C-alpha cells in the first residue's frame, strides 16, 4: 500500500474544499470581505475563472468578483508550501495540512517543528 499522498491531488482537493463547497448551508450569503473571523463559517462562491502558471501558482476570480491566489513559497529546504489568499484571509497549504501563520518565515518554522 502506498503510504504517500500525491501532493498535487491534495492541493487540488483543498482548492475544492476551500472554494467550491459551501462550508455552511445555513449561511448562503457571501460576505463583502472574507476575514479570519468569517471565512470558515461563510458560503464560498465558485470560481468563475482560474489558471495555473508555469511555476505552479494559481490565480483566479470567483463568481462574485473576488480575486484569489495560491502561490508557491520558495525556500532553501525544498519544502513544498503554498500560500492561499482571498480578500483579507491567507493561510498555507502543506503536505502536513493547513498552517495559519502571519508570514512565510513563520509558516516554514511551524512546518519544520510539526
Domain boundaries, the chain: 7-113
Q: What pLDDT sits at residue 29?
A: 85
Specify the residue for cell string 489558471.
51
Prediction pTM value: 0.74
Start-to-end Cα distance in the chain: 24
Q: Which three cell numbers mark 79?
A: 519544502
Tens-digit pLDDT string for the chain (114 aa)? 445 556 676 666 666 666 655 544 445 789 999 999 999 899 898 999 999 999 999 999 999 999 999 999 999 999 999 999 999 999 999 999 999 999 999 999 999 998
Amino acid at each position: 500500500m502506498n503510504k504517500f499522498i500525491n501532493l498535487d491531488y491534495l492541493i487540488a482537493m483543498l482548492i475544492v474544499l476551500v472554494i467550491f463547497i459551501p462550508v455552511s448551508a445555513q449561511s448562503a450569503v457571501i460576505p463583502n470581505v472574507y476575514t479570519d473571523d468569517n471565512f470558515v463559517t461563510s458560503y464560498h462562491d465558485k470560481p468563475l475563472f482560474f489558471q495555473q502558471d508555469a511555476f505552479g501558482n494559481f490565480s483566479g476570480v470567483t463568481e462574485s468578483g473576488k480575486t484569489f491566489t495560491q502561490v508557491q513559497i520558495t525556500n532553501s529546504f525544498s519544502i513544498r508550501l503554498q500560500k492561499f489568499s482571498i480578500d483579507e484571509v491567507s493561510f498555507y497549504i502543506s503536505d502536513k495540512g493547513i498552517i495559519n501563520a502571519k508570514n512565510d518565515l513563520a509558516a516554514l518554522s511551524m512546518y519544520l517543528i510539526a
